[in-house]
Chain A
Amino acid sequence: MHLKYESTVREPLVNGTKNYAQVTEDIISPVERKPGRMWYVGFFFSVALLCFGIFSVTWFVYWGLGTWGINRTVGWAWDITNFVWWVGIGHAGTLISAILLLFRQGWRTGVNRAAEAMTIFAVMCAGMFPIFHMGRVWDGFFVLPYPNTRGPLWPNFNSALLWDVFAISTYFTVSLLFWYSGLVPDFATIRDRAKTKLRRLLYGVASFGWTGSAKNWQRQEALALVLAGLATPLVLSVHTIVSMDFATSVIPGWHTTIFPPYFVAGAIFSGFAMVQTLLVLVRKILHLEDYITIGHIEAMNKVIVLTGSIVGIAYLSELFVAWYSQSYGEQDAFKWRIIGPYWWAYWAMMTCNVISPQFFWVKKLRRNITFTFIMSIVVNIGMWFERFVIIVTSLYRDFRPAAWTYYSPQWPEIGFYLGTFGLFFTCFFLFAKYFPTIAVSEIKFILKTSGENFKNDMTSIEAQSNEEFADEQMAAHHH
């Protein structure tokens, strides 16, 4: 049951003096305004990156994957590194929207919409890499189990790579439905207050004709709850399956049972960092500081220090197991990670992921916006290196020393990666302009318990005796 009272010990989730109309105005008005100069600069820069990405992709699809730096020893490199990195980033959105919904964490309402958008765009970027790594991308549909004239010959359902096809496409679909079912009522809000005909028309279509009828809301809440229940194991399964792309092989450095929890923790770690990067900017540019408060940022930094420490323990466990296994291949793989030709990647990973998040034990730093922003980028650099270390430094010195080699990326790979940044930020800038970046109806739902002006009135409730309080709450819930 949703109590009408929340302790004043908890920070308000919405600052300032607000009522329902003010919430609508604050969150919807950026959609109705012309965007500022910063938006145009950012948007066109992203589109330029996207165009360079399209050029790079066209180039290597035409000339073939020989234009990449991969070779017979290092068959997976930047492509799969970037794939795992983007998928991992997506995980924070689902964690915020689904897992925190099940845990009844009120603070998720301020950040869930933007985080879910981030998930969808990140998964789109991630999907590009395995698709283009296929080489003959025009035959990409061969991974789907459809009746064909080759037998029919089916894909191998026992392969972790095919599990990935199902996991990523399911994840994308479910995230999209979850996100959109929350957006429908907010689109109706934009539609009903629209001043221009075009806006009424477009948001009318986007809102599906939502009116906010009591029965519709009841079903909407039921849908959100069940989708959250489905998305929670789903998000854990996705990075588990991604880790099985490696763990089900027999390559030293990959063949390990710790991978699923280690990958999931790393995914949440990097995802929250990306949420911080985006929201620190969004709250500033769209003037949403009252809704995405320092308290929200602190809460996410707590998740970062927790998951960062889990990742750190996983790194140390790997080293221990390599020694304890008494397997030469395993021991050498880790020795060369630390002091081999790719030592810089290993130490970049260790510094960014294990050491730097420990600063967040200090409350002052958790609540410092500039420090949070810098840390969010450091963590994402570190998590990129983690995937690079796992993939490239497990492959470049394989079982036969004659095949040992070194890998450096070539420009089409780099262009491809930059292009996915272009895609991600182009989508995100469009989202920030045309979509309500905060879930309006969900903020209204928590306003009377967690809004600053309402919390100030709660001191009188706190002065009540227990019996008085219980009587009033009971009466309030039995209309």
Chain B
Amino acid sequence: MAIKKFAVAAYQDEEVLFPAVKAARNSGYKLHDVYTPFPVHGLDHALGLKDTDLHVAGFIYGITGTTTALGFISWILTSDWPLNFGGKPHFALAAWIPITFELTVLFSAVGMFLTFCYLNQIMPGVKKHVFHPRQSDDLFVIVMEVTDGTSEIELLDFLKTTGALETKIEVAESEWWYGRWDQKEPYELAG
């Protein structure tokens, strides 16, 4: 748990968001994150985020599925319990392609989905701070961290100049925790 102070700025349009993100990155203040109601193309590059390697993970899971299927079936049908199907060869690769393909897809999809959840740190029961209730509706939200020595007023003034619809200061947990969404957050109870 790391409770920190944040400055939150909400924008009405992605056209305003892009210059604001650029200004925020160049301002010298610490950018925490940007939240949007839908995937805004180019935002990851504007934020300087690297491309995700999720698809590489998907490839590795996929070939794991391929080798599992081929290894398992060929071991069973050539060594563990060879069966004679009409005198055909025991090593019947062509007949194994369908299951090999299915397992490739299955391993890749399941593995990628779990990796996706792990990387994003999302799971049923996980709770994260929502800085603005409309960040999943119609507003684009930039969150800056108010670090020690940062002037709140100057930071808010700066955010206002970038075209924010509204700005505010919030004290919040910066990481995820286990919790119920219908209950108050623990740090709010304490404070």
A→B interface (CB under 8 Å): 1-2, 19-21, 24, 145, 151-154, 156-158, 160, 162-163, 166-167, 169-170, 173-174, 177-178, 181, 184-185, 188-189, 191-193, 197-198, 200-201, 203-206, 208-223, 225-227, 230-231, 233-234, 237, 241, 244, 441-442, 444-445, 477, 479
B→A interface (CB under 8 Å): 18-19, 21-22, 33-44, 46-47, 49, 51-52, 54-55, 58, 62, 72-73, 76-77, 80-81, 83, 85, 92, 95-96, 98-99, 101-103, 105-106, 108-110, 112-113, 116-117, 119-130, 133-138, 176, 180-182
A219 to chain B, nearest CB (A): 5
B110 cross-chain contacts in A, Cβ below 8 A: 173, 177
Decide: A174 and B182 in contact? CB cutoff 8 A. Answer: no
A255 to chain B, nearest CB (A): 15
Decide: B109 and A227 in contact? CB cutoff 8 A. Answer: yes
A-B contact pairs, 28 of them (CB 8 A): A20-B37, A20-B137, A20-B138, A152-B80, A158-B85, A158-B96, A163-B98, A166-B99, A166-B106, A178-B109, A192-B130, A201-B180, A201-B181, A208-B117, A210-B122, A211-B129, A211-B130, A212-B36, A213-B34, A214-B40, A214-B44, A215-B44, A215-B120, A217-B44, A223-B112, A227-B112, A234-B105, A444-B37
Decide: B122 and A208 in contact? CB cutoff 8 A. Answer: yes
A479 cross-chain contacts in B, Cβ below 8 A: 18-19, 21-22, 42, 46
Cβ-closest chain A residue relative to B103: A166
The contact of B76 among A154, A174, A189, A204, by CB within 8 Å, is A154
Q: A177-B110, A217-B40 are in contact. Are A201 and B182 (CB under 8 A)?
A: yes
B73 cross-chain contacts in A, Cβ below 8 A: 157
A136 vs B140: C-alpha distance when bound (angstroms): 57
A240 to chain B, nearest CB (A): 8
Decide: A157 and B128 in contact? CB cutoff 8 A. Answer: no
The contact of B101 among A156, A217, A219, A233, by CB within 8 Å, is A233
A121 vs B103: C-alpha distance when bound (angstroms): 22
Decide: B77 and A212 in contact? CB cutoff 8 A. Answer: no
A234 cross-chain contacts in B, Cβ below 8 A: 102, 105
Decide: B105 and A230 in contact? CB cutoff 8 A. Answer: yes
A212 vs B133: C-alpha distance when bound (angstroms): 11
Decide: A21 and B138 in contact? CB cutoff 8 A. Answer: yes
A1 vs B49: C-alpha distance when bound (angstroms): 17
The 5 closest A-B pairs by CB, nearest first: A204-B181, A20-B138, A209-B126, A208-B122, A201-B182
B176 cross-chain contacts in A, Cβ below 8 A: 209
B46 cross-chain contacts in A, Cβ below 8 A: 479
The contact of A219 among B54, B77, B106, B109, by CB within 8 Å, is B54
Cβ-closest chain A residue relative to B85: A158
Cβ-closest chain A residue relative to B121: A209
A446 to chain B, nearest CB (A): 9
Cβ-closest chain A residue relative to B43: A214
A78 to chain B, nearest CB (A): 26
A185 vs B18: C-alpha distance when bound (angstroms): 22
Q: A154-B80, A174-B106 are in contact. Are A185 and B136 (CB under 8 A)?
A: yes
Cβ-closest chain A residue relative to B95: A158
Cβ-closest chain B residue relative to A4: B15
The contact of A24 among B40, B72, B126, B138, by CB within 8 Å, is B138
Residue of A204, A208, A214 with highest tally of chain B CB at under 10 A: A214
Decide: A184 and B52 in contact? CB cutoff 8 A. Answer: no
A20 vs B36: C-alpha distance when bound (angstroms): 11
A477 to chain B, nearest CB (A): 7
Cβ-closest chain B residue relative to A198: B182
Decide: A205 and B181 in contact? CB cutoff 8 A. Answer: yes
A198 cross-chain contacts in B, Cβ below 8 A: 182
A1 vs B168: C-alpha distance when bound (angstroms): 34
A244 cross-chain contacts in B, Cβ below 8 A: 98
